[in-house]
Amino acid sequence: MKKEIALLVAAGCIGAGAATVNYDLLGRKGSKMNSPMVYRNIDYSKMKKQEQQNIGSSLDANVLAKKASGLVNGAYSAEGRFFNRGWTGANDCYTNYSNTNYRCFYNFTAHSYSYPTLSSDRGSLFYAYGPYGDIGYIERSNEYFKYIPVPDDYINPNFYTENSFSRANNQGYSFSYNNSFNFNNPVQTSPYGDGSQIQYKNFKDVRDGSSYSDRQYISVWYGAQNSANYGNAAYTSQPYTWAVEWKNDWTNVGIYVPLNAMPVKMAQNDQIKYVVVSPASYWQVPSNEIDASKTFKILKNSSKKSDIYVGSAEYPSYPSNIQKDNIYMGLRVRKPMAGGFMPSGLYYSDEARTLDNYIYTNRTVEIVAAGEGSGSNRNFANIAHAVNAITVGAVDPTSGNATAYTPNVRPRYCTSGIGNCNSSSSYNIGTTKPEISNYTHFYFNEGGYNSDKGRKYTASWGTVSTYDPYYDGTSISAAYTAGMVSDLLATNAFYRRHPEVVKATLLTSASVTGVPTYATLLPPRSYTDVNHAYPYKHESRFWVGDINKVKTHEDSYGRKEIRFKVKTSDFESNNFVAAISWLSSGDDIANLAKIPQDFDLRAYANNSGNLNDLETFLDSSLSSFDAFEKVSFSTSANYIVFVITLYSDDVNSENRGQVVLGFDMMSR
């Protein structure tokens, strides 16, 4: 059924009273998700003209000045793709004539108005005629994106080593171990007021176990990592890449974490090293100290190649304080200075707007804790409303379900402006949060000096506070996710400076068990093991800049489309999941009270690879409100053809006509 006919049928069924409310044909209010036939209160006879007006000419002087692209050296758009196991026999790979089984991992292309193609360099496994592999990709990416300084240009960062169990003595507290504590019965009443009983698990069992995060899948790279040597364990090989194409100086990923206190030891053998970034003004009271130390320990125990930068300011001063790593990531789990629950609200806030603008401008991957709800207040933390951030909820590893305290009230965008709405005000529905959930409810019991201890603080005025070493809340699940993502960036340079692709990749990686795992997010990549049957393979892409440069087609209403094909024989399975995600400026979201762009994702199958052959429909995701779309399907056809449609682009957006769009597909 054509869309125009479907609209007439829907209008007749819904009746005159529905003129101001949008429904799809399944009766879902305000949604176009997962149905190719959609009702919208739109005059389609005017769509082509309206869309042309909204998107506008990319040659318009105002558009050329927009900040969306983040491109330099005359580039007005760029696109790239990456396959973590390498395409076989692809026409766009460099050829090594001594070995016919070559693999190509990268493709990067930049465009200008004067020259259709500024650069079209590929990164293959073998060196032939130009830049190759990760080094080639990084160098080409640096040439056209905002320059990322080569780490060799910096001196080694000045790491601070913390040897104490507490610094709270500066605030009038004395510290001692609570020797009566033990892990014999790790069941506690939830500290978040939801009345549930929490069964805590040893972190290493969840991190490494095949029933949970499955890091044993790639354990050779991590080595025998525990709390005494996290981030420093020896390893025998680099399973992600062939040695000749990788430069070790680029492996560590800097993560900036704003905290209210400096991290200290939780166990006697903990190795605490981080870079202190100015300004560094902390309130080292017990609750802040424990929150900071738990965040640090989870982050380092879940990653290998991350360097942590700690500061009291919400955002780092870039790049003056960055001496070796680039700050590719941020982790935002900070609670109010007085401790307690994170502030939360119904509506998009100034905190979210600032973070969205920061991501949009700097292209860092920002992981944000969803916050902890209590009682009837199940709203998200203010900063967790940020559309461009990856907001993380909490999953209990015992039940496999979302925790009772994970927020579940859908965010809203106030039509009267930030700060001008209450619970009864007019609003637009916001994007779905959290996009990702991960495990929490941990403890560290690795024997002797490697195990955490109970903690006791005695205030100078006589108050005694005890803390059991249990790790819970969305701050822990967010730190856990950030550790995983830092290793994704460390081992696959393609994802750096592309938070839109990272979010899409997390969405697909979480589709198997409901949470991202090491096995689904970080499958090995190496030439010597290219024929090994790893079930989880990813093909990722991005498009940045002028939509008229990156679009390949237009539909019958004049909407811009990006069509491309994926060869299924490069994957191990006929079962697939794919996702797109895109960035928006915080100013646009705040001023328009909505996400300014709406993309749709459709998947088709054929055996020819013809981008115009859309006869076999597989799946679609057509949400009206989300900043991402996800589809899943099975096919035995030779090719999958994806169609990404820019359904709408608000005429009042300061970045109309510009896109920052990411894609990932995973076999499962």
Q: Is the pLDDT of residue 590 over 60?
A: yes
Q: Where in the chain is the domain with CATH 3.40.50?
A: 159-490
Assess whether pLDDT exceeds 60 at residue 52: no
Residue 528 has pLDDT above 60, yes or no: no
3-state secondary structure of 528: helix
Quick one: tokens of 61? 């002087």
Residue 156 pLDDT > 90, yes or no?
no
Checking 454-457 for CB contacts under 8 A at 24+ apart, the result is: 454/177, 454/178, 454/179, 454/180, 454/181, 455/165, 455/166, 455/175, 455/177, 455/178, 455/286, 455/290, 456/175, 456/176, 456/177, 456/178, 457/166, 457/168, 457/173, 457/174, 457/175, 457/286
Report the distance separating Cα 262 and Cα 281, nearest Å: 10
pTM of the model: 0.86
- Nearest alpha-carbon partner for 503 in 528, 481, 475: 481
On average, the pLDDT of the chain sits at: 78
Backbone phi and psi for residue 79, each to the nearest 5 degrees, phi listed first: -145, 150
For the stretch 601-642, pLDDT in tens is 999 999 999 999 998 999 999 999 999 999 999 999 999 999
What's CA 60's distance to the chain center, in Å? 32
Give the model's pLDDT for residue 217.
72
* Residues paired with residue 368 on neighbouring β-strands, in sequence order: 332, 391
Any residues with CB less than 8 A from the CB of 540 and at least 6 apart, and which? Answer: 81, 82, 83, 84, 494, 495, 501, 504, 505, 662, 663, 664, 665
User: b vs e for 104-128, b when ≥16 Cβ sit within 10 Å of the residue's Cβ?
Assistant: bbbbbbbbbeeeeebbebbbbbbee
Answer for the pair 98, 125: CB distance below 8 angstroms, yes or no. Answer: no
* pLDDT score of 35: 31
Measure the CA–CA gap between 345 and 93, rounded to whole angstroms. 50
Tens-place pLDDT, residues 429-487: 999 999 999 999 999 998 888 899 999 999 999 999 999 999 999 999 999 999 999 98
Given this model, what pLDDT does residue 29 score? 34
CATH number of 159-490: 3.40.50
Three-class secondary structure of residue 105 per DSSP: strand
Residue 337 — very low, low, confident or very high, per pLDDT cuts 50/70/90? very low
Structure tokens at 503: 């979010």
Of residues 531 and 126, which shows the higher confidence score? Answer: 531
The dihedral formed by the CA atoms of 202, 204, 205 and 208, expressed in degrees to the nearest 10: 160
Q: What's the confidence (pLDDT) of residue 3? A: 33
Type and span of the H or E element at 393:
strand 390-395
Assigned token pair, 84: 């973590």
Measured CA to CA, the distance from residue 498 to residue 137 in angstroms comes to 13
Are 442 and 200 a contacting pair, CB within 8 Å?
yes
User: CB-based contacts of 621: which residues, under 8 Å, 6+ apart?
Assistant: 33, 34, 600, 601, 629, 630, 631
Helices (H), 323-390: 350-362
78 band by pLDDT with thresholds 50, 70 and 90? confident
- Round to whole Å and give the CA distance between 270 and 665: 38
- Residue 224, C-beta contacts closer than 8 angstroms, at least 6 positions apart: 233
Which of 310, 232, 323 is CA-nearest to residue 271?
A: 232
Q: How would residue 227 be classed by pLDDT, with cut points 50, 70 and 90? A: low
Instruction: Answer yes or no: is pLDDT of 339 > 50.
Output: no
Residue showing tokens 């994106």? 145
- Give how far Cα 611 sits from Cα of 563, 601, 604, 643, Å: 7, 15, 9, 9
- Cβ contact 537:512 at 8 Å: no
pLDDT the model gives residue 345: 82
Counting every residue, how long is the chain? 668
